[in-house]
Chains A and B, each alone.
Chain A
């Protein structure tokens, strides 16, 4: 794998029930590249949590995945409301999800903590009223 590989996705903010399609596609692509299953699992979960957050909290956005020799990088961008207090949002159990979202099984307040746990690097840039950019990396040993 000499050159970096890039995958780009538009994440639809309307589509609640079938949300997660970009992550499912990335899992498939990484499998075809022959990456170790534990790396694929960590990337898949971290990306899915981020993708779902964009759908539920930000009305959709874009996802870019770059695969290099050393790591898999996930870039998520949305033009949603932004996160008021990132430190608070990172706490396990903190959630602003509505009851209807909770009835789908989301809203445990575990998404951002999972993204942190399953990645080797995570950075959140969020501006209130503008949107949120998240960068995550999972190293390939």
Chain B
């Protein structure tokens, strides 16, 4: 499933979608950035509640398909602007991390 297709489902809202045709191949959950870089795979959807700028660099360098900010965590507009300029997709989910993962496991 592509990131754009995921945004068409009711549970995910796009906050930045510069590269919507990216295919999601797996899921990783985590907030510690080095842990994410060590364990996430390329093309994963990365679920987190971290909301600072560094998530954009991490997603770009670890080559994840998108960031999913769960638990209805809000992002500053500078972060979504940065994501747009760096080609990093960010979605939001108002569900818990667990529920977000369960929904994804049914879709993927």
Within 8 A of B (CB), among A15-52: 17-20, 23-24, 27, 37-38, 40-41, 44-45, 48-49
Given contacts A41-B42, A104-B54, A105-B54, contact A27 B33 (CB under 8 A): no
Given contacts A37-B63, A41-B63, contact A110 B54 (CB under 8 A): no
B105 lies within 8 A of chain A by Cβ:
no
- Give A47 to B34 CA distance when docked, in angstroms: 12
Q: Which residues from B are CB-within-8-Å of A8?
A: none
- Give A114 to B58 CA distance when docked, in angstroms: 13
Asked if A17 and B54 sit within 8 Å, CB to CB, the answer is yes
Identify B37's interface contact among A19, A109, A114, CB under 8 A.
A114
Q: How far is the CB of A118 from chain B (nearest CB, A)?
A: 8
Identify B53's interface contact among A18, A23, A117, CB under 8 A.
A18
Q: Which residues from B are CB-within-8-Å of A44?
A: 60-63
A-B contact count (CB 8 A): 69
Given contacts A105-B33, A108-B32, A110-B32, contact A20 B61 (CB under 8 A): yes
Q: How far is the CB of B62 from chain A (nearest CB, A)?
A: 6
B31 lies within 8 A of chain A by Cβ:
yes
Within 8 A of A (CB), among B41-65: 42, 50, 52-55, 57-58, 60-63
Q: Identify 19 new A-B residue pairs, CB closer than 8 A, beyond the known A44-B63, A105-B33.
A: A18-B53, A19-B54, A23-B57, A24-B86, A37-B63, A41-B61, A41-B63, A44-B60, A44-B62, A45-B62, A48-B57, A49-B34, A49-B37, A105-B52, A105-B55, A106-B54, A109-B34, A110-B38, A114-B38
Which residues of B are in contact with A by a Cβ distance under 8 Å?
31-35, 37-38, 42, 50, 52-55, 57-58, 60-63, 86
A-B contacts, 8 listed (Cβ < 8 Å)? A20-B54, A24-B60, A24-B86, A41-B61, A104-B52, A105-B31, A106-B32, A110-B35
